[in-house]
Amino acid sequence: MARPVKEINAGSMADIAFLLLIFFLMVTTMDIESGLQRRLPPMPDENQKQDDIQVNRRNILVVRLNDSDGLLAGGEMMNVTMLKDKAKEFLLNPTNDVSLPEKEEKIIEGFGPFQVSKGVISLQNTRGTSYKAYIEVQNELVKAVNEIRDDFAMVNFGKKYIALDDDKQRIVRDAIPQNISEAEPKDTGSKR
Amino acid sequence: MAVFNKKGKKDVPAMSTASLPDIVFMILFFFMVSTSMRQTDRLVTVKVPEATEIAKLERKDLAAYIYVGTPIPSRQAQFGTDARIQLNDAFKTVNDIRDFIAAERETKSEVDRQFMTVSIKADENVRMGIVTDIKQELRRTSALKIMYNARKADTQFGN
């Protein structure tokens, strides 16, 4: 004898769904991972260690951070806020000063010849430097490069670097490389 | 003359809630898809430093995390208050990073391995010594793509 099948009351489905929803709301993490992206230099080969590329003195800007977070850039003590302008002046060398880095004419694919600066910023720190100060300095240096890139993009393409398409971004990157080298750690006056 | 059939007083019909489950399910599926479960318990307190020139990590699934900071209060009796490294779920030393990176590499697909980024989440008060050690170890294991985790600073002073 077939009994008529009663329809299941679906009224509580909403409650169940809400329960699940609240669970996922609780466990979800919405934090975006963001930070300063860097590429470390590869470890030098032990066999051919003494094959260092000699970089001309004028092409290096040495930025040092000491144990008490004092900043020394290009031989001058300075505040972090001044570092950006120092780095920009160093990388741009607008007056072709002999004490600032030389430029090399490179042919950039899709753009043509451009005077690319050979300047390298070398960042050195001791073991006692605080991480906060280190990131602050890294940030200023990246900001200097980004501002130069924006200017270059504005002049040549009429847009900011971030608004350009991939190919043009590559051109800008080739024209203004981000040469920030993190030197081999030196044990100078360190507290462990 | 048209006759409108008006039955006495007007009753407000009960609102149909039949579509409520559908709406809730829609939100539910959104959260299920977008959620990423917290995989590790934090054993160290990390307050990442501020920066303005930050970039977003594009492939979150290709990241390996190294936490550096002082142990949480409940672990301080055992591990002290000096900055420690946390890998996965335990306190580790610099020498363990090599194995950790190798294990992390294994979990990624072969195509994506070269794009693996090591995200260093270090507290702003740690000393560079420990970070330098980590960096040197990462260079040795040729995990060269790194990211210093930082949060967006307020840009209230113009730039």
Interchain proximity A40–B51, CB inside 8 Å: no
Its ipTM equals 0.73
Cβ of B128 and A39 within 8 Å? no
The model's confidence at residue B158, banded by pLDDT at 50, 70 and 90, is very low
* Cβ neighbours of B131 in A, within 8 Å: 131, 134
Q: Could you read off the pLDDT of A174-191 as tens digits, one per residue?
A: 888 888 887 666 554 444
Per-residue pLDDT, averaged over A132-154, amounts to 89
CATH architecture of B44-152: 2-Layer Sandwich (3.30)
**How much is the mean pLDDT over chain A?**
80
Q: What is the tens place of the pLDDT at every residue in B136-148? A: 888 888 888 888 8
Q: Where are the domains of chain B?
A: 44-152
Q: Within a 10 A sphere around the Cβ of A158, how many other Cβ atoms?
A: 9
A42: nearest CB among B37, B63, B139: B139
Band (B5; pLDDT cuts 50, 70, 90) = low
Residue A108 has pLDDT above 70, yes or no: yes
- Of the pLDDT bands very low, low, confident and very high (cuts 50, 70, 90), residue B151 is confident
Contact B122 A142 (CB under 8 A): no
Residue of chain A whose Cα is closest to the Cα of B54? A35
Q: How confident is the model at residue A75 (pLDDT cuts 50, 70, 90)?
A: confident
Question: Do the chains contact at B127 and A131, CB–CB below 8 Å?
Answer: yes
Q: Which of B127, B141, B152, B125 is nearest to B64 (CA)?
A: B141
Residues of A in contact with B34 (CB under 8 A): 28, 30
pLDDT category of residue A29 using cuts at 50, 70 and 90: low
Query: Given this model, what pLDDT does residue A191 score?
Result: 42
The angle subtended at Cα B16 by Cα B15 and Cα B17, nearest 5°, is 110
C-alpha dihedral over A138, A139, A145, A146, to 10 degrees?
Answer: 150
How high is the pLDDT of residue A192? 41
**How far is Cα A61 from Cα A103, in angstroms, rounded to an integer?**
15
Residues in chain B within 8 Å Cβ distance of A33: 56-57, 60, 63, 119, 147, 149
CB-CB under 8 Å, B151 with A34? yes
The single-letter DSSP state of residue B127 is B
- Is the pLDDT higher at B32 or at B95? B95
Query: Are A127 and B129 an interchain contact pair (Cβ–Cβ within 8 Å)?
Result: yes
Q: Which chain A positions have a beta carbon within 8 Å of B142's beta carbon?
A: 42-43
Task: Name chain A contacts of B38, Cβ cutoff 8 Å.
Answer: 27, 29
pLDDT of residue A189: 44
pLDDT in the model for residue B1: 53
What is the spatial distance between Cα B21 and Cα A192, in angstroms, rounded to a whole number?
A: 60
Nearest to A35 among B136, B144, B150 (CB): B150
Residue of A nearest to B48 (CA): A132
- pLDDT score for A1: 59
pLDDT (tens digit, 9 = 90+) per residue, B65-97?
A: 888 988 888 888 888 888 888 888 888 888 888
Answer for the pair A68, A132: CB distance below 8 angstroms, yes or no: no
Å from B63 to nearest chain A CA?
10
As a 3-state breakdown, chain B gives helix, strand, coil percent values, each rounded to 5, of 35, 25, 45
On whether the pTM is more than 0.80, the answer is no
